[in-house]
Structure 1
Amino acid sequence: MATTADFKNGMCLDIDGQYFFIVEFLHVKPGKGPAFVRTKLKNVQTGRVLDKTWNSGVKVNEVRIERRPYQYSYKDDMGYHFLHTETWEEVIIAGESIEGVQFLKDGDICEAMVHAESETILTCEMPTSVTLEITYTEPGIKGDTATNTLKPATVETGAEVRVPLFCNIGDKVVIDTRDGSYKERVKE
């Protein structure tokens, strides 16, 4: 148990059976009336952010969440199979729990948030950017860099992204896993 005086950014709370991270908080002591704490909370499973105001001194359930690195191994009908990078213990994570799953390829290291007491995996985060090879796109034209026009391309994981006109099959590109946007072409 913790109180509102213990709040800090990144702290995880159990509110009505759901887990929330404190994104930001502010202790407010108005000139008239009791003090209170205004918070922005992010739901661990859905990612939704909500505002909540607490009376000062209220007790809340703190949850201990650990971040652990896992290496992607393969996918089957049960889910995505990962190996813990230190113990080599295998775990299966559902695709809905992985942010940017369409860009996941063999050997990628992801960071999972694990409930410390029950050892259940809540979510899994990919790195913010990954380098992938283009497997199909319409041919590009040399010197086509003057405009910001994008064309569809399929990368090695099967995901479709939008890349500049000068990108060709076999090029490696850096993709932002949060929104699937093109960042840059990797020069070899």
Structure 2
Amino acid sequence: MASTSDIRNGLCIRYNHDIYKITEFLHVKPGKGPAFVRTKLKSVTTGKVLDNTFSAGHKIEEIRVETHKFQFLYEDGEFWHFMNVEDYTQIRLTENALDMPKLIKEGEVVTILINTEDNMPLSVDMPASVVLEVTHTEPGVKGNTATNATKPATVETGFEVNVPLFINEGDKIKIETDKGTYKERIKE
């Protein structure tokens, strides 16, 4: 059993008969009253995000996890299929185990957290950003760059993102995976 002093981002805990991953936390020590920890928990089974406050010293049940590198193979509409790059075993995950499923392209290597008790995959950690090619966007209008104007663009995985007007079809762009926002154009 761990306590609230052991809470950190990425920690997996068992809470209310479900497994949650801590995505954010804040230790609060008010001037009056006992200390507490505010957390944002994401269910690894349903994907639901929950705000919770633990009192200082509260016991939490920590889940032991291992991280493994997996390569994304394909998506069949219901499941996302991955292959372990070390022993070539394959697993399949539902869409709610992925934070940004539309940003993974075939062949991408990601880190998957696996529960050591029952070898169940818990969540997929994406890289901080991905480089994808723009497959469709409207052409930008010359002279309309005085403001910070954007336009929608569709990338090779089908994800739609707002990009600056100078981005054209065929350009490669970097997208931040945590927010799903445009970061920069990649020069080749």
Residues 113-151 of structure 1, C-alpha deviation per residue, up to 9 Å, x if partnerless? 211111111221322211111111112345654321001
Q: Say whether 1:83 aligns with 2:83.
A: yes
The reply to whether residue 9 of structure 1 matches residue 8 of structure 2 is: yes
Contact 2:5-2:56 within 8 A present in 1 as well: no
CA RMSD of aligned residues (A): 2.8
Q: Which amino acid aligns with 2:42?
A: N
Alignment CA distance shift 1:55-1:172 (3 Å): closer
User: Does residue 1:128 correspond to 2:131, yes or no?
Assistant: no
Cα separation, partners in 2 of 1:67 and 1:167, compared to 1, 3 Å? same
With structure 2 as the length reference, what TM-score do the two structures score? 0.81
Q: C-alpha distance in 1, partners of 2:12/2:110?
A: 20
**TM-score, normalising length: structure 1:** 0.81
On the 8 A contact 2:41/2:52 being kept in 1, the answer is no
One-letter code aligned to 2:106: D
The aligned amino acid for 2:149 is: T
Matched, 1:42 2:41: yes
1:159 aligns with 2:159: yes
In structure 1, the residue corresponding to 2:106 is in which secondary structure? coil
Contact 2:4–2:60, Cα closer than 8 Å, also in 1: no
- Highest Rg: 1 or 2? 1
Pair 1:121–1:145, CA change in 2 (3 A): same
Q: 1:50 offset after TM fit, Å? A: 2.3
CA 1:77–1:148 in 2, change beyond 3 Å: closer, same or farther?
Answer: closer
Q: Which residue of 2 aligns with 1:71?
A: 71
CA separation of 1:170/1:144 partners in 2, compared to 1, >3 Å: closer, same or farther? farther
Alignment partners' CA distance in 1, 2:155 and 2:124: 22
| Residue number in structure 1 paired with 2:117 | 117
Task: Give percent identity, aligned residues only.
Answer: 33
CA distance in 2, matches of 1:9, 1:134: 37
Aligned length: 184
Q: 1:53 to 1:160 in 2, by over 3 A?
A: closer
Note the alpha carbon deviations across 1:17-38, whole angstroms, 9 max, x for none: 1223454464969998xx7653
